[in-house]
Amino acid sequence: MTENNTHDHYDHEGSKLGMWLFIFTELLFFGGLFIVYAVMRYKNGTAFGLAAEELDVSIGAINTVILLVSSATIAMSISSIQLKKTKLTLILLATTLILAIVFLVNKYFEWGAKIEHGLYPGSESLEQLGHGEVLFFGLYYFMTGLHALHIIIGIIFIAVMMVKVKNGKLNVNRFVQLENAGLYWHLVDVIWIFLFPLFYLIA
Amino acid sequence: MEETKEHKIVSFKTYIIILFLLISHTALSVFVTQIDLGNLSVIVALSIAALKSLLVFSFFMHLLYDKRMYAFMVAGVLMVMTLVLIITFLDYGF
């Protein structure tokens, strides 16, 4: 690379390290919430068990599989950009993007059904159920909502990566941004891997 | 300046195998928690989740192929989280 590149600083390892440091803050952020969940569950075991039965295991399981597949496709897109297969990279990223949107659509219907049944923070029917149930659904909405926010950010992140792959800004020589998008997406996946058993399975 | 260091290209096959393992463990955790095992089902479900996240960290997030430094840092963060969990529970249970 020559003089036209003087302002173009590129440090693959440094970028990745920065992304990992951000991921650590995210892990500690959600980690704190998981600790809150653990303490609340310890204090209100029976109520949490009963409240968890309200959640639909099959929707949770389907969404888990959707996120796992999307994690695999974005991981494969990084291999394919290294193999100079631009078209395949774009197809894999588009698949990831579509799966992310399907996840959110499922979440919309899931939340919608709960809200229709009067199970939302501050609702009258929830207040009647008791302290433990209020805590469970409070945490459920907050943690899955925060996770959904991460999915939305991920969708934007992946869409930007697709544009950059398409116009050649990301290529076989410099693809660390795509790698970082992958790391972020896998983080979202890991968080869901724990949210799923804690809210849906342990009843 | 071109990056001269080669980056490991992970094969599609590896990712497909890991994906298969992740999905089958999800099915296993759904199956196991349908049986009434009492408190044991909490331990089983969380152990499976821990195993799944280990697979994601190692293969999807390339900890297995990248510099060791990343793996050590992740382990450090997880240790901090465990420590905070234990210290919190000193106030509540044990």
Q: Could you read off the pLDDT of A62-77 as tens digits, one per residue?
A: 999 999 999 999 999 9
Q: Kindly determine whether residue A174 and residue B61, on different chains, have CB atoms separated by under 8 Å.
A: no
What does the DSSP 8-state code read for residue A120? Answer: S
pLDDT on residue A1: 46
CA atoms within 13 A on the CB side of A4: 1
pLDDT of chain B along its 94 residues, tens only? 344 456 789 999 999 999 999 999 999 999 999 887 877 888 999 999 999 999 999 999 999 999 999 999 999 999 999 999 999 999 887 5
DSSP H stretches of helix in chain A: 12-43, 45-52, 57-82, 86-116, 124-129, 131-166, 176-196
At residue A32, what is the residue type? G
Condensed to tens digits (0 to 9), the pLDDT of residues A48-64 reads 989 999 899 999 999 99
Residue A8 pLDDT > 80, yes or no? no
At residue A85, what is the residue type? K
pLDDT on residue B1: 39
Q: Kindly determine whether residue B56 and residue A64, on different chains, have CB atoms separated by under 8 Å.
A: no
pLDDT on residue A122: 84
Q: What is the ipTM of this complex?
A: 0.91
The angle at the Cα of A181, spanning A179 to A184, to the nearest 5 degrees, equals 110
**Region A86-109: what's the mean pLDDT?**
98
What are the sequence ranges of the domains in chain A? 15-201
**Do residues A120 and A51 make contact, with C-beta atoms less than 8 angstroms apart?**
no
Provide, as residue numbers in chain B, all residues whose Cβ is less than 8 Å from the Cβ of A65. Answer: 23, 26
Condensed to tens digits (0 to 9), the pLDDT of residues A135-170 reads 999 999 999 999 999 999 999 999 999 999 999 999
**Do residues B10 and A79 make contact, with C-beta atoms less than 8 angstroms apart?**
yes
pLDDT on residue A7: 63
Name A120's Cβ contacts closer than 8 Å, sequence gap at least 6.
A114, A126, A137, A141
CA atoms within 13 A on the CB side of B45: 24
**Do residues A3 and B57 make contact, with C-beta atoms less than 8 angstroms apart?**
no
Q: How confident is the model at residue A9 (pLDDT cuts 50, 70, 90)?
A: confident
Q: What is the CA radius of gyration of chain A?
A: 20
Percent of chain B at pLDDT exceeding 90:
77
pLDDT on residue A143: 97
SS3 for A201?
helix
Looking at the complex, does the CB of residue B58 fall below 8 Å from at least one CB of chain A?
no
Looking at the complex, does the CB of residue B63 fall below 8 Å from at least one CB of chain A?
no
Here the tokens at position A45 are 């075991």
The Cα-based distances of B81 to A25, A142, B37, B76 in angstroms read 11, 20, 27, 9
CATH architecture, range A15-201: Up-down Bundle (1.20)
pLDDT on residue B6: 62
CA trace torsion A183, A186, A190, A195 (10° rounding) = 120
Tell me which residue of A7, A12, A1, A10 sits closest to A176, measured CA to CA.
A12
**Do residues A69 and A25 make contact, with C-beta atoms less than 8 angstroms apart?**
no
Q: Kindly determine whether residue A201 and residue B92, on different chains, have CB atoms separated by under 8 Å.
A: no
Condensed to tens digits (0 to 9), the pLDDT of residues A24-49 reads 999 999 999 999 999 999 999 899 98
pLDDT on residue A6: 57
Provide, as residue numbers in chain B, all residues whose Cβ is less than 8 Å from the Cβ of A198. Answer: 46
